[in-house]
């Protein structure tokens, strides 16, 4: 087995890749130099406008997503509560509504599950609000840094 036989195609491929990369880099540098003679002046004019616009878009998207997330959390809590109530009714039906120990326990469990679902949903929604507010403060600070 000749090592030269295996290495020759890899060497040719490497040269082609290097040539292509060099050509793309050269075109990019020439392109940038031709269109942006004074990049500092252009950045000074457009960056605050872009930062303000992008910041407002980001804050709007964050509010929209937070609202969707909170609705999802509320829907999930409602489903948990409905399931707990349905299970308690099934036990009540199975025991013929005699008010015995198992039926009372099922009702207590359903009430406890509903209470926990409400508490968990409220805590999670508060966390969503806190995250959204932190994100919006960060965006505001970035916008302020660019002077918009």
In the chain, where are the structural domains located?
A: 1-36, 38-145
**Averaged over 44-70, what is the pLDDT?**
72
What CA–CA distance (Å, rounded) separates 121 from 144?
34
Q: What Å distances lie between residue 114 and 9, 12, 28, CA to CA?
A: 69, 70, 62
pLDDT band at 122 (very low <50, low <70, confident <90, very high): very high
6-50: pLDDT as tens digits? 567 767 777 777 777 777 777 776 666 655 555 555 545 555 556
pLDDT for position 21: 75
With tokens 């840094």, the residue in question is 145
Question: CA torsion, points 135, 136, 141, 147, in degrees to nearest 10?
Answer: 140
Q: DSSP E strands: which ranges in the chain?
A: none
135 pLDDT above the threshold of 60: yes
pLDDT for position 81: 92
132 pLDDT above the threshold of 80: yes
Confirm if 125 and 70 have CB atoms less than 8 A apart: yes
Q: For residue 90, what are its two tokens?
A: 């099934």
25-29, 39-43, 102-106, 114-118: the lowest-pLDDT one: 39-43
* pTM over cut 0.75: no
């Amino acid at each position: 087995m000749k090592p030269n036989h295996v290495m020759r195609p890899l060497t040719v491929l490497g040269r082609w890749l290097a040539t292509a990369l060099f050509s793309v880099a050269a075109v990019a540098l020439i392109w940038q130099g031709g269109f942006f003679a004074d990049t500092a002046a252009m950045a000074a004019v457009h960056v605050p406008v872009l930062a303000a616009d992008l910041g407002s878009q980001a804050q709007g998207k964050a509010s929209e997503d937070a609202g969707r997330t909170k609705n999802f959390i509320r829907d999930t809590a409602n489903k948990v509560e409905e399931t707990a109530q349905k299970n308690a009714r099934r036990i009540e039906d199975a025991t013929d509504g005699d008010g015995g120990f198992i039926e009372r326990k099922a009702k207590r469990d359903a009430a406890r599950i509903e209470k926990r679902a409400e508490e968990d949903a409220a805590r999670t929604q508060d966390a969503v609000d806190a995250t959204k507010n932190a994100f919006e403060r960060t965006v505001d600070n970035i916008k302020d840094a660019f002077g918009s």
